[in-house]
Structure 1
Amino acid sequence: MFVITLRFADKSRAPAFLDGHNAWLRQGFEDGIFLAAGSLKPTGGGAILAHQADRPAIEARVQDDPFVREGVVSADILEFTPGRTDARLDFLMTEASRL
């Protein structure tokens, strides 16, 4: 599982690439990779919760974001294996993390 943070590097350029960024987000949800996406408060950028992909695939996907490609944001990818979840999130657990 991954937490991806996108922090603004040049927010003034965001409007020019917003449609492409939103299309990129939509595709991540349609592909079943993104579980949640939203803004970092107060105006720091955004964060995405992703799963069902390995690190190289996540890194490649992040590089396809027009905001990343055009230097609007800098991306940080944090990988973790859940050791415990609320029952509503049990689908996130892998067999390895349950052992």
Structure 2
Amino acid sequence: MGKVARCGDEPVNAHGVNFFEGVKMFIVSLTYKCDIKEVEKYLDDHVSYLKQEYSNGNFIASGRKNPRTGGVILSCVKDRDELEVILKRDPFNRAGIAEYDITEFIPSMVAEGFEILQK
């Protein structure tokens, strides 16, 4: 089986194969459905989940919204179905305390140094 493409990979290997072929980028916007004190009960587990998905090559950036009404995740995976399976593992999702808005994103322009994000 061939290498699975992930956003952190080099865009082309020694044989000229583009690892980004077939990989899509998504913006996930989380909105909390409860008081922040309830969110904080699940925060450590949520951070562990994020770290695991970074390790799996599924997430490339994440952080809190300001004001603190939720968060944002940038994800690079095969398709929306794969992303939805990944998001079901999030402790915030399992506890029912966040809504997830998923938008596919095609970067057509990037700043210098971020060319790897373009296909």
**Mapping of residues 1-99 of structure 1, within 5 Å:** 1-11=25-35, 12-94=37-119
Count matched residues: 94
Q: Which protein is bigger by CA-based radius of gyration?
A: 2
* Identity among equivalent pairs (%): 33
Instruction: Between the two structures, name the one with larger relative contact order (CA 8 Å, sep ≥ 6).
Output: 1
What is the alpha-carbon distance in structure 1 between the residues aligned to residue 112 and residue 57 of structure 2?
20
Instruction: Flag structure 2 segments of 5+ consecutive residues without an equivalent.
Output: 1-24
- The normalised TM-score by structure 2 is 0.72
- The normalised TM-score by structure 1 is 0.85
Instruction: Flag structure 1 segments of 5+ consecutive residues without an equivalent.
Output: 95-99
Give the match's secondary structure for 2:46. Answer: helix
Contact 1:33–1:53, Cα closer than 8 Å, also in 2 = no
Structure that is richer in helix per residue: 1
Root mean square deviation, CA, Å: 1.3
Q: How far apart are residue 87 of structure 1 and its match?
A: 2.7
